[in-house]
Homo-oligomer: A and B are copies of this chain.
Amino acid sequence: MEGRASTVDVTVDCVVFGIDEAHLKVLFIERGLEPFAGAWALPGGFVRPGEGLEQAARRELSEEAGVTELFLEQLFTFGDPGRDPRGQIISVAHYALVRLSDHRVRAATDARQAAWFPVHEHPPLAFDHEEIVEVAYRRLQGKVRYQPIGFELLPRKFTLSQLQRLYEIVLERSLDKRNFRKKILAMGLLVELDEVERGVAHRAARLYRFDERRYRRLLQRGFNFEI
């Protein structure tokens, strides 16, 4: 059947994961408007006329939480009838992984507050946002097994311990040090530098950097990191 339907509306929602030295957090906003006024939710809103989906997601993130300049990927489109009390409204969800210290948040427009919460300890969420967070979290954990991470999250020169810690925070489990090193070095992703870390109390560890060309290539082609 053709003919315009005009009964379905389109929103975007964003799951922004933020990482620090020890935690994986998610960005939520407190809604200022009905429905669910006063409840926490993912930053997001309606797609505007003439706007692309990722463009809408970036605008909402900027407007509601003051977050800009991040690498967003489309996650999944949620469209169960009844997911929104206002009517038939689908949500094209996006997600990102950023360094917490790079993104101070501030609420704006129709958000009362914006804040980071631990991924498993956040207040109840509006709409089906709990499910969206869950899908994003599983995607993130799956993704680190077939794509490299860390380029935008670590300092330019880093130790293997810092890289391992990053994987441990995302995967939320500890990894065997020897095994991790053997496998990550086998990828050919890292360049060993003729430098060690400075200003540490323990024995200074070797510094590495990413081989940027190889990193970009593995992002495209994927790898098999049996972590």
**Which A residues form the contact surface with B (CB < 8 A)?**
1-10, 33, 45-53, 63, 74, 76-77, 79-81, 86-88, 90, 92, 109-110, 142, 145-146, 222, 224-226
Partner of A224, one of B6, B47, B226: B226
A51 CB, min distance to chain B CBs, angstroms:
7
Partner of A10, one of B49, B80, B90, B145: B90
CA distance A45 to B86 in the complex (A): 23
Q: Of A63, A76, A81, A145, which is in contact with the most chain B CB atoms at under 10 Å from its CB?
A: A81
How would you classify the secondary structure of chain A's contact residues: helix, strand, loop or mixed?
A: loop
Residue numbers in B under 8 Å from A45 (CB-CB):
1-2
The reply to whether A6 and B5 contact each other, CB–CB distance below 8 Å, is no
CA distance A63 to B1 in the complex (A): 8
Q: Of A48, A63, A110, which is in contact with the most chain B CB atoms at under 10 Å from its CB?
A: A48
CA distance A48 to B1 in the complex (A): 9
Closest to A56 in B: B79
The reply to whether B5 and A8 contact each other, CB–CB distance below 8 Å, is no
The reply to whether A5 and B9 contact each other, CB–CB distance below 8 Å, is yes
A5-B49, A48-B5, A87-B4 known; A92 and B77 CB under 8 Å?
yes
The reply to whether A88 and B49 contact each other, CB–CB distance below 8 Å, is yes
The reply to whether A50 and B224 contact each other, CB–CB distance below 8 Å, is no
Residue numbers in B under 8 Å from A47 (CB-CB):
5, 8, 79, 88, 90
Q: Of A2, A81, A222, which is in contact with the most chain B CB atoms at under 10 Å from its CB?
A: A2
The reply to whether B88 and A90 contact each other, CB–CB distance below 8 Å, is no
The reply to whether A77 and B48 contact each other, CB–CB distance below 8 Å, is no
A132 CB, min distance to chain B CBs, angstroms:
14
A2-B45, A5-B10 known; 18 new pairs, CB 8 Å cut-off, are A1-B63, A2-B33, A4-B46, A4-B87, A5-B48, A8-B47, A8-B49, A10-B10, A47-B88, A47-B90, A51-B81, A53-B79, A53-B90, A74-B77, A142-B222, A146-B224, A224-B224, A224-B225
